[in-house]
Amino acid sequence: MTDSAFGPVAGGAEARPAGSQAEAQADEPGRRLLRSGTRAAVAVAVVVTLVSALWGPGAAVAAALGGGLATAALAVGPLLLHATRDASPPAVTAAAAGGYAAVVVILGLAFALLAPVAWLSAEHLAAALVAVTVGGLAGQVRAVTRLRVPVFDEASSEQARGSSGPPDDDAAQSPPFAAR
């Protein structure tokens, strides 16, 4: 039994090899974000679609379409997290900014193309896009507040526990003080 990436819990034994545990922990944040955001988005999409059905089938189809588009758009963030998990921070930032900009443009184009369709309700499409996006983001925020992401890998933390200081070639150097 382990306590996150901080090693075995007192009295517990390690059940899996360290490599598979590290791989599982690397994928876990993205999976949890995707799962939590998608569940919340689908729940909100169902509610918005059911409420929109009171206005007729065009409103219900528009709400369902908007809910599906927003749910798909929300999956971009966790998928980018998974795709860039080993990349440098500038590459992750560029991928995130580009991905989110693409999502905004694609959702805007989808709304612009679907809004003029006479039998679809533009108001219900827009309401679903907004409500499902907010609901999905709330699910992702809830997941983020519960994630335990290790800052250092196990090898680094074990090395730090085993040594009393930096290696000889990395020892801190201080400038000589001038006597006054």
Domain range annotation of the chain: 26-149
Write the pLDDT tens digit of every residue in 99-141.
Answer: 888 888 888 888 788 878 888 888 998 899 899 999 998 998 8
**Of all residues in the chain, what percent are helix, strand and coil, respectively (each to 5)?**
70, 0, 30
The pTM of the full predicted model, rounded to 2 decimals, is 0.63
Structure tokens at 41: 């988005």
Q: By the 8 A CB rule, do 107 and 75 touch?
A: no
CA distance 14 to 16: 6
Please say if the pLDDT value at position 10 is more than 70: no
Beta-carbon contacts of 58 under 8 Å, excluding residues fewer than 6 positions away, are 119, 120, 121
pLDDT at 8: 41
Q: What is the mean pLDDT of residues 46-68?
A: 94
